[in-house]
Amino acid sequence: MKLLWKSLIKRIIFLVLFTPIHLVATLMMVQRFFFNPRNSGTIETVFKYLTFVFTLPVIYPCMRIDPDGERLPEWFQAFSFFLNSFVWALLILLLFIIVKRLYARGGKPAAVAGPDNN
C-alpha cells in the first residue's frame, strides 16, 4: 500500500511540474510563431513544425475551428493552453507507465532489444 502512495505522489509531482513548463514553452513558441516578422529559412521551418506538434491535442484544432476568436468563448481560449499542456503531461505519463510495465514483465521494447548472444 505504501508503494502505491509513493507511485501516486510521483505521478502527481510529474503532472504539477511538467504542465506549467510545457504551458510556458507553448506560449513562447506560439507567440514567436505568430509575431515573428521573419518566417523563412530552415530553422524557422523546423520551428513551425515544432510549434505545430506542441499545440496538437487541443490548441491547433481550436485554431482551425475558430481562427478569428469569435466563436469559442474567451475563457475556453485561455483555458485551452492549460488543457493542452495537461493532455501532453497525461500522454507522457501514460507512455512512462507502459514502458515500466513492459520492463516489469521482463520484455524489452524493440528499440532497446539487441541481438541475442547465445
Give tens-digit pLDDT for 30-84: 888 777 766 667 777 888 888 888 888 888 888 788 777 788 888 888 888 898 8
Number of domains in the chain: 1
Residue 1 lies in a domain: no
Residue 91 lies in a domain: yes
Residue 117 lies in a domain: no
Residue 97 lies in a domain: yes
Identify the band that residue 89 occupies on the pLDDT scale cut at 50, 70 and 90: very high
pTM: 0.71
Residue 38 lies in a domain: yes
CA 104 to CA 64: how far, in whole Å?
42
Domain that holds residue 75: 9-104
The three cell numbers of residue 107 are 520484455
Nearest to 54 by CA among 31, 95, 78, 23: 23
Nearest to 77 by CA among 25, 14, 30, 15: 30
Residue 54 lies in a domain: yes
Residue 70 lies in a domain: yes
Residue 112 lies in a domain: no
